Structure formats: C-alpha cells, structure tokens
C-alpha cells in the first residue's frame, strides 16, 4: 500500500509542476511549450486518478481486514512459477498482495471471485480468479489452536460467504 501511496504523491507533484509550467509558458506567450506541458499535465492527471482509485481500494481492503500475514507464496494456473511476496491483507472486498489488488466480485459475474479456502496446521490456501485465470495464495498463518482456526473460518464465512475447509486438525 505504501508503494501505491508514494506513486500517487509522485504523480501529484509532477502534475502540479507541469500545470504551473503550462501556466507560465502561456503567460509568456510560448504557445508550443504551453501545449506540450498541457498534454503532459493531462497524461499525469489520468495517472493520478488511476493511482487514487487504486489507493481507495487498497484502503478499503486494509480497513476491512479479515487476515493479515507477513508473507505468502503465489502461483497461477498458467505458469508453474511460484513467487514469494510480503504484506498480504485478506479482506471482505479482496486481497492486497504487496501493491497488487485483486477485488472480489467487483466486475460482475465474470470478475475475480474467491472460490475456495483451505486451512491446515501451517498454511491457509486461497484459490481465486476469473474465467480465464486462477491463482492460489499460500499464506503462512501462525494460528496455534483450533479455536483460532474456527474463529478465522467463521470470519471468512461471515465476510465473504465462502466456507473454509479445515484439514489436519
């Protein structure tokens, strides 16, 4: 989430600088330079709006957290590649993996959906995706006893509507 926030601040600063330069060139009657900086300002405004939208959804996920874990292993259905990431937040509205956001059910029936949740002694496996691609996130949870597992299971059921399968307890 910090990376999204930093990019948004960077785009905002560049937008302000280019907008001021556009105004300065317009006052000095340097039309070509004013047009160039106006176009750059418009492009930066689009990037700023996109980053603000991402930050809004990241905050929504962060503020409605079901489970936060320090690291995870991610694999996709199209590749055998597995990668490790840090800062995972699972929420009612989606999952925040580093600075990548996957939102549950935001794009209608064909959008990303949380499909299954499996919990064992060490890991929580989240399977989610759309019609084209499925992803599996393997979260090292650190839950010590069955009461904590049942509490997380109930939270997932209440918040997402997906029943968790508990194995090896």
Q: Which tens digits make up the pLDDT trace of 97-147?
A: 878 888 887 766 667 888 899 988 888 888 888 878 888 888 888 777 888
Question: Alpha-carbon distance 104 to 133, whole Å?
Answer: 14
pLDDT of residue 33: 95
**Residues 32 and 102 placed together within one structural domain of the fold:** no
User: Token match 């930050």: residue?
Assistant: 55
Q: By residue range, what is the domain housing residue 46?
A: 2-61
Q: Which of 61, 78, 105 is the last residue of a domain?
A: 61
Helices 2-27 and 31-63: angle between axes, nearest 10 degrees: 160
- The last residue of a domain, from among 61, 96, 112: 61
Opening angle at CA 141, ends 140 and 145, nearest 5: 135
Tokens of 151: 């509490």
Distance, first Cα to last Cα, the chain: 34
* Tally of CA atoms within 13 A in the half-sphere of 73 that contains its CB: 9
Q: What is residue 81's predicted lDDT score, i.e. its pLDDT?
A: 59
pLDDT digits 0-9 by tens, 144-165: 788 888 888 899 898 888 898 9
Shared domain for 108 and 77, answered yes or no, is yes
What size, in residues, is the chain? Answer: 169
User: What would the mean pLDDT of 30-57 be, rounded to a whole number?
Assistant: 96
Task: Indicate if the pLDDT at residue 77 is higher than 70.
Answer: no
DSSP state of 21: H
**pLDDT band, residue 72 (cuts 50/70/90):** confident
pLDDT tens column, 45-63: 999 999 999 999 999 999 9
pLDDT score for 109: 65
Q: d(Cα 116, Cα 40) in Å, to the nearest integer?
A: 44
Single out the residue in 16, 43, 61 at which a domain terminates.
61
Report residue 80's pLDDT band, with 50, 70 and 90 as the boundaries: low
123 & 143 share domain: yes
Which DSSP letter does residue 139 get? E
């Amino acid at each position: 989430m910090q990376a999204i926030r930093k990019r948004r601040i960077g785009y905002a600063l560049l937008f302000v600088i280019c907008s001021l330069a556009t105004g300065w060139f317009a006052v000095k009657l340097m039309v070509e330079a004013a047009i160039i900086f106006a176009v750059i300002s418009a492009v930066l405004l689009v990037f700023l709006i996109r980053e603000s939208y991402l930050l809004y959804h990241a905050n929504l996920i962060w503020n409605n957290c079901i489970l936060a874990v320090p690291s995870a292993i991610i694999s996709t259905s199209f590749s055998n590649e597995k990668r490790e990431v840090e800062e995972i937040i699972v929420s009612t509205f989606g999952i925040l993996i580093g600075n990548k956001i996957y939102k549950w059910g935001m794009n209608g029936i064909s959008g990303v959906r949380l499909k299954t949740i499996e919990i064992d002694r060490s890991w929580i496996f989240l399977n989610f995706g759309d019609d084209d691609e499925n992803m599996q996130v393997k979260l090292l949870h650190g839950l010590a006893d069955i009461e904590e597992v049942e509490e997380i299971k109930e939270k997932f059921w209440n918040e997402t509507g997906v029943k968790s399968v508990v194995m090896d307890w």
